[in-house]
Every structure is written in structure tokens, then in C-alpha cells.
Amino acid sequence: MKKKILALMLSCVPIVVFAAADVVVKQGDTVITRRDVQLALENFVPEQGRGEVLASEKRLRDFVAQLFAVRKLSDEARARELNVDERWKIDAAAERAAAQVQLDHLVGRQQVSDFTPAAREFYLANPKQFVQPEQVHAQHVLIKNEGRSKDEALALAKQVAAQAKKDGQDFGKLAAEFTEDPSGKANGGDLGFFARGSMVKPFEDAAFGLESPGEIVGPVESQFGFHVIRLVERKAETTIPFEQVKDKLVRDETLKYRRMAIGQEYGRIGKLPGIEVDQDAIKALVKPLDFKAHAHAAEK
């Protein structure tokens, strides 16, 4: 709620831009510059989401408002006398940030510039991961058993199937008139493309049993009622081209390399000469779990 109030305040009062200092927001000694906004976007917003923030004035104002609130609260904390625990929290957060900066420096210094070859190698070594299974595109009319006997539902489904098989029959209009699938009335019973495993088995078996576009089968009984199904199109199993998955695979390989490099740096730190560890001190910190108390607390 506080974030919303602050964002509303900033949206109602035009953000002042001081060209000379490149300041976006200022209150007393608390200042947010254009560079602050840019760095915050780069460091706190995933790459794929930055464009969305910059494309929306409201989202950008909300982002700047939150950035300003964090800066202001930080300034307020540093302006008062902090106790030992509070100071430790600030120092620990700064320590973690500094460690992350150093990791970025060390990994970036040795990072491979182009992971496309590694991505292609993974693609070629794992062909099954890039198979697009066979799919069918179908329409259907659903006649439910609710409010009628099963025999009545079957009889109505047979009538719909007979009409659907007439030459020149518009299946979409038929679905809009008869289907009891709520979404089917608006889209003419169109289910789009789906692979095996997406539908209940009786329906799936019937749909994948159709071969020619326009072919109709039904009534087919499932747990939902009786279906009349029309095949719109089939897609055979295919392999997804490398270019379609290249960007994702390059990102994956980049992250894989980064995790490996970070692990190596942690390993290096752990092997530095002169490290002294008081194993007894660590052992003294161990507190075995009281499983009975833990189970009792979980029941509450």
C-alpha cells in the first residue's frame, strides 16, 4: 500500500528533471539520477522485462518511485544512530554486494564471448529434446449428459454428427448452435493444435485417428459427454530448427558457464593458504533438531 501511495504521489506531481545534474527525483539531500535508474534497471530487472518497463510511463514512474523510496529509507537509516545488530545488517549486505561485484569481475575477465558453438553442440547432442511431436488441429461439438438421459444425449449427438457430415455444412456455425462447451460457442468449437497427452484419451484417440482435413467422427464418448469431432489440419512430427531455439540455448550455455566459473572461484577461495578453521567452535554451534517439538509445531 505504501508503494502505491508513493507511486501515486509521483504520478500526480510531474517528475522534475534537472538537466544540469541529470536528476530525475530530488527531495532534500536524497537524489535519484538518470544513471541511477539505468543501473537499477540493468541490475534489478531481468533483461526481457526492461523494455516493458521503459515502454510504459506508469511502470517507469512506479519503478522510479520504488527506487526513490529505497534510497530515502537508506538515507534515513544512515542519519540515525544504529545499534550493533542494525550496523551488522548493513555491513553484511554491503559485503555480499562487494563479493558479487568481484565474482562478476573474475568471471567476466575469463568469459567466452560467443556461446553459439556450445549451444549448437548441445542441440546436436540432444536431438530428442527438440522434437515437435505430431499434432492435430480439431473442432468439436460437445453434448453433455447433464439435464438429460445418456440415451437422449447420444441421440442428439448423432443428429449433430449427421448434420456435420452434410456437404457444405459450416461446422463452426453448428458448434455455435449446439455445443455445450462454453468456449466452443464463441470460437466455433475450435481447439487449435494439440499433441497427444493434452486431451482425455477417448477424444484424443478419435482425433488422431482422423486422416484427411474435413473428416468427421462421432459421437465419441468421454467423461464430459459425447463429442462430434472434425479434423482441420495435421502436423507430422518435426525437429525444431536450431535457429528457433538458438537464443534460449545460448542463454542456457552462458548461465551454465557462469555457474561453473563461480564454483571454481569458490573452490579457489576454499584452498587459499593460511586458512584456519576452529572445528570445535563450529561443532559447538550445532543444535540437533527436536523432531517431536517440530512435529507438534507443524500440527498447530
Q: pLDDT (tens digit, 9 = 90+) per residue, 82-132?
A: 999 999 999 999 999 999 999 989 988 876 778 999 999 999 999 999 999
Cβ–Cβ under 8 Å, residues 206 and 218: yes
Do 146 and 232 lie in one domain? The reply is yes
Domain presence at residue 299: no
Domain boundary among 177, 210, 236: 236
- The number of domains in the chain is 3
Domain presence at residue 108: yes
Helix axes 34-44, 57-79, angle to 10 degrees: 100
Average pLDDT of every residue of the chain: 88
pLDDT of residue 3: 45
Do 54 and 143 lie in one domain? The reply is no
Q: Which residues contact 234 (CB under 8 A, 6 or more apart)?
A: 134, 135, 136, 137, 210, 211, 213
pLDDT of residue 113: 73
Q: Residue 17: is its pLDDT beyond 80?
A: no
Domain presence at residue 182: yes
Domain presence at residue 218: yes
Give, in degrees to the nearest 5, the angle at Cα 178 between 173 and 180: 120
Do 119 and 174 lie in one domain? The reply is no
Helices in 80-188 by DSSP H: which ranges? 84-110, 116-125, 150-164, 171-178, 182-187
Do 103 and 31 lie in one domain? The reply is no
Q: Residue 156: is its pLDDT beyond 80?
A: yes
Domain boundary among 186, 219, 236: 236
pLDDT of residue 294: 62
DSSP type of residue 56: -
Show the domain range for 187. 134-236
Do 63 and 125 lie in one domain? The reply is no
Domain boundary among 14, 47, 80: 80
DSSP lists the bridge partners of residue 141 as 228
What's the average model confidence in pLDDT over 55-69? 93
Phi, psi (5° rounding) for residue 132? -90, 110
Cβ–Cβ under 8 Å, residues 229 and 203: yes
Do 138 and 126 lie in one domain? The reply is no
Domain presence at residue 94: no
pLDDT of residue 111: 66
Do 141 and 232 lie in one domain? The reply is yes
Domain presence at residue 288: no
Do 44 and 62 lie in one domain? The reply is yes
> 64-68, 74-78, 112-116, 208-212: which range is least confident on average?
112-116
Domain presence at residue 139: yes
What's the average model confidence in pLDDT over 199-204? 93
Do 26 and 8 lie in one domain? The reply is yes
Domain presence at residue 116: yes
> 136-150, 223-237, 258-272, 284-298: which range is least confident on average?
284-298
Do 227 and 166 lie in one domain? The reply is yes
